[in-house]
């Protein structure tokens, strides 16, 4: 089936929204296949504080299910929508109780091999089952960054370990569990955010490590992820001087196309980190960044907060695709990868439907979380 430029641009734009219900405008965009995926954040979930000995923020599970149902059913036949969420454990888990609250994955340091790997796989399976039951399709996890800098303000205990081999073992075990639980996993942040001393949400980090160091530390987990055929890898808004000293990885053909796609042999979907982050938006502007990211080899562009930016990116990609055959070809390649991933995911869901809501916060999952955290 032939797809138009507008069809292809729609597949590569993955967006966030504001409010706790699916906005009419967003549902209309989904129905017109102008959006390939939606990212759900804590701001989109109905919550309340339950007071007790320890006050706890609780999510309205029924509202989450209804939100995801409304988003999914807005999609036209033949162009299914994916719904993504960041649910790593520790400080990064958008869905709070009664869903199981997982400890930070660096807690796996408290368990010897091979128990650590088995626990990571069990967490992935439990996490995947809970998210699938709630109507999600993608978990932006696992983190493949190596925790080598105690002053890193953004990774820290989100990492699976302090050396590359350990991170690769544990993180890919969790990704395998997520897949068995019915979720699409996404490794992040290529080519490695673990040693930065600045937060790319706020500014543009730079790493000056040489190739030998990058090869042995930062890149190793991603090389293993490529071999394991992880369905998605997310880029980092970080300048790596040894790879491309001029632009951050997300916008660099040398990093995304040459290194990740060709040298590491990765064939899955490459997702940009959020282009609304200041590391990109404040330095390049959204229109330019969107086109650069596609040229570099990204397949999906995250635009999670600013609706004006989403419009800018869409217009810029359409215009670039109309004017430049190379951009048009790249958009076609990216959209084809996204469609293939969606088709495979839909087929798996049909073959093995998600568990019911009884798995959300199940006792066995909470006991597993306690064990990982060293509480039981």
Catalytically active residues, by annotation: 201, 273
- Work out the angle at residue 283's Cα, subtended by the Cα atoms of residues 278 and 288, and round it to the nearest 5 degrees: 105
> Is 190:249 a contact under the CB 8 Å cutoff?
yes
Report the relative pairing of strands 56-59 and 47-50 from DSSP bridges: antiparallel
How far apart CA 141 and CA 266 sit, in angstroms, is 17
Indicate if the alpha-carbon torsion angle 97, 100, 104, 107 is positive or negative. positive
Three-state SS at 276:
coil
CB-side neighbour CA atoms (13 Å) of 35: 28
How buried is residue 376: exposed, middle or buried, by Cβ count under 10 Å (0-12/13-18/19+)?
exposed
The alpha-helical segments, DSSP class H, found in 86-229 are 115-133, 164-180, 211-216, 220-227
Token output for 286: 């959204």
Phi/psi for 232 (5° steps) reads -140, 150
How buried is residue 224: exposed, middle or buried, by Cβ count under 10 Å (0-12/13-18/19+)?
buried
């Amino acid at each position: 089936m032939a797809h138009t430029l507008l069809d292809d641009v729609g597949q590569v734009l993955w967006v966030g929204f504001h409010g706790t219900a699916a906005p009419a405008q967003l549902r209309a965009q989904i129905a017109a296949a102008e959006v390939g995926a939606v990212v759900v954040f804590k701001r989109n979930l109905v919550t309340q504080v339950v007071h007790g000995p320890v006050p706890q923020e609780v999510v309205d599970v029924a509202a989450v299910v209804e939100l995801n149902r409304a988003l999914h059913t807005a999609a036209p036949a033949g162009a299914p929508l994916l719904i993504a969420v960041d649910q790593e454990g520790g400080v990064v888990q958008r869905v709070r109780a009664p869903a199981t609250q997982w400890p930070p994955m660096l807690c796996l340091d408290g368990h010897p091999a091979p128990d650590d790997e088995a626990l990571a796989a069990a967490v992935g399976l439990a996490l995947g089952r809970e998210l699938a039951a709630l109507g999600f399709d993608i978990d932006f996890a696992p983190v493949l960054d190596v925790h080598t800098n105690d002053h890193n303000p953004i990774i820290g205990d989100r990492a699976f370990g302090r050396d590359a081999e350990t991170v690769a073992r544990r993180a890919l075990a969790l990704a395998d569990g997520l897949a068995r639980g019915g979720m699409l996993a996404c490794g992040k942040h290529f080519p490695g955010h673990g040693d930065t001393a600045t937060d790319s949400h706020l500014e543009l980090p730079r790493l000056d490590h040489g190739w030998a160091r990058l090869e042995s530390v930062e890149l190793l987990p991603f090389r293993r992820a490529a071999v394991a055929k992880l369905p998605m890898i997310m880029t980092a808004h970080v300048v790596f001087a040894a790879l491309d000293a001029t632009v951050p990885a997300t916008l660099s053909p040398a990093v995304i196309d040459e290194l990740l796609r060709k040298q590491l042999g990765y064939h899955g979907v490459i997702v940009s980190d959020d282009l609304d982050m200041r590391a990109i938006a404040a330095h390049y502007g959204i229109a330019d960044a969107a086109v650069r990211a596609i040229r570099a080899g990204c397949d999906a562009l995250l635009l999670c907060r600013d609706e004006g930016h989403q419009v800018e990116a869409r217009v810029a990609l359409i215009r670039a695709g109309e004017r430049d055959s190379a951009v048009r070809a790249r958009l076609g390649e990216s959209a084809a990868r996204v469609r293939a991933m969606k088709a495979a995911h839909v087929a798996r869901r049909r073959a093995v439907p998600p568990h019911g809501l009884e798995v959300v916060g199940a006792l066995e999952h909470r006991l597993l979380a306690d064990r990982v955290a060293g509480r039981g």
